[in-house]
Amino acid sequence: MGELTDKAKGLANEAAGNTKQAVGKATDNEKLKAEGVAQERKGEAQNLKGEVKGALGDKV
């Protein structure tokens, strides 16, 4: 179950990060764009964590 939770949180953070980046770019807000990049990277890391958990199965 941890695998799916991590992947879901990761996808949500990636989507929110992409949205922040788009809004930041549209409004020429560098701070918002940077926050979006950071949130997207966090989501990518969470997604990877979920994939690792899935690959290792019960060993985690």
Write out pLDDT tens, residues 28-57: 999 999 999 999 999 999 999 999 988 887
d(CA 55, CA 37): 27
Amino acid at position 35, single letter: E
Question: pLDDT band at residue 2, thresholds of 50, 70 and 90?
Answer: confident
Say if residue 6's pLDDT is above 60.
yes
In terms of pLDDT, which residue wins out, 52 or 59? 52
Per-residue pLDDT, averaged over 7-12, amounts to 95
Give this prediction's pTM: 0.85
- DSSP annotation of 59 reads G
C-beta atoms surrounding 15 within 10 Å: 13
CB within 8 A of 7, min separation 6: which ones?
A: 46, 47, 50, 51
- Token digits of residue 55: 């690959």
